[in-house]
Structure 1
Amino acid sequence: MAEVLLFHHTLGVTEGIEEIAGILRDAGNVVHVPDLFEGQTFDSIEDGIGYAEELGFDTLVDRGRSAADGFGPGLVYAGISFGVLPAQMLAQTRAGAKGAVLLEACVPVSEFGEAWPDGVPVQVHGMDADPFFVGEGDLESARELVDSTPDAELFLYPGDQHLFTDPSLPSYDLEAAALVVERVVRFLDGIR
């Protein structure tokens, strides 16, 4: 069993985010879903990004840090798209991190430190033709992360959808998302 802090994407805490958390809970994990948008949800990625820009990405990452402060060490930090920012920051900088799951995004390790921390396993998942994941440099960052540490895995899925893991959205890809969940559950099962 792992204890997971799962950060939402730019649409906010959707029904799909809650469903993903429920699936991970059903697999025996403790999953917390902090709401960095304080109840706001959006119908489009553009609207969510606009809101995030208005608040400031640093403010939202700080909200992620504050959410983690409510828990002891030993967490796995997970994020979907925008949620990868606080998840990756915490995995790289908070003592006692047990792992990270980065879904549909990855930023350069140098954003939060000089190197990925030793002994902190990480999985990165994304679609191989997602214009956000591939076109904005996340895939390149994920490959660099995998090359820099033996504790990193990158999984690519065929398709061009962003937010393909959220079952409440039209971009959801049942087959790819099921494989993501299978791999994440196995990863969490291995956390000590």
Structure 2
Amino acid sequence: MAEVLLYHHIQGLTEGVREFADELRQAGHTVHAPDLFDGHTFASIEEGFGYAERAGFDAIRTRGAAAADDLGPGLVYAGFSFGVTIAQRLAQTRPGARGALLLYSCLPVTEFGDAWPPDVPVQIHGKQDDEFFDEDLPAARELAASAAAAELFVYPGHQHLFADSSLDAFDPEASALLKDRVQAFLASV
């Protein structure tokens, strides 16, 4: 079983993110899901973005990276959208990373180094007509093509946070498929 450090999206540690973490735990994985917004959740991406802007993106990302300090090596770093900015950096730069799950977002690998670590498998998930994922899709395709063990899954539709059951963007069918693929990934690392 895998040990996962899961970072929430810009709307906070919502009930849907908690549910996602709990489903991984029920499958036998150890999941850490730090609350980077101190209990605040937001009804919209814009409200969450405003909070993060006031709190300081760098300060939030620093807190997120610090959550890994108390945990040993061998983690799978996972992030939902905004959380990908932390998870991807740790997967690329922290020794001993076991894998990465990049949900709804992907940054260019060059943000955190020259190349993706060859021994770190990665899965990337997003919707083909999601306005936010659309700007990340070239980086996701490049990572999928260049990494030794990378998978890119693009789902039909436009919803951004589609696997969060507590939000209007929830897509039950795509979410179920994403969760199956995540479970298979975690079983393989």
TM-score, normalised via structure 1 length: 0.96
Partner of 1:171: 169
Partner of 2:102: 102
Partner of 2:159: 161
Residue 118 of structure 1 aligns to a residue whose secondary structure is: coil
Equivalent residues, number: 189
Partner of 2:66: 66
Partner of 1:51: 51
Structure 2: how far apart are the matches of 1:114 and 1:56? 27
Q: Does 1:147 align with 2:145?
A: yes
Matches within 5 A, 1:101-140: 101-134=101-134, 137-140=135-138
Structure 2: how far apart are the matches of 1:64 and 1:54? 17
Unmatched runs of 5 consecutive residues or more in structure 1? none
Equivalent of 1:183 in 170, 181, 184: 181
Structure 2: how far apart are the matches of 1:92 and 1:62? 16
Is the Cα contact below 8 Å between 2:119 and 2:148 reproduced in 1? no
CA drift of 1:58 comes to 1.6
Structure 2: how far apart are the matches of 1:179 and 1:27? 16
Structure 2: how far apart are the matches of 1:42 and 1:170? 12
Matches within 5 A, 1:33-52: 33-52=33-52
* Per-residue deviation, residues 135-181 of structure 1 (Å, max 9, x unmatched): xx211110011121121110010000010010111100000000000
Moved >3 Å (runs of 4+):
none
Whichever residue aligns with residue 181 of structure 2, its letter is: R
Whichever residue aligns with residue 95 of structure 1, its letter is: P
Structure 2: how far apart are the matches of 1:183 and 1:72? 25
CA drift of 1:80 comes to 0.4
CA drift of 1:105 comes to 0.5
CA drift of 1:52 comes to 1.2
Unmatched runs of 5 consecutive residues or more in structure 2? none
Cα RMSD of the aligned pairs, angstroms, is 0.8
Structure 2: how far apart are the matches of 1:140 and 1:79? 18
* Per-residue deviation, residues 7-47 of structure 1 (Å, max 9, x unmatched): 00011111001100011111111111001111111111001
TM-score, normalised via structure 2 length: 0.98
Is the Cα contact below 8 Å between 2:164 and 2:170 reproduced in 1? yes
Matches within 5 A, 1:77-92: 77-92=77-92
Q: Does 1:26 align with 2:33?
A: no
Structure 1: how far apart are the matches of 2:49 and 2:143? 25
Whichever residue aligns with residue 39 of structure 1, its letter is: G
Structure 2: how far apart are the matches of 1:42 and 1:90? 26
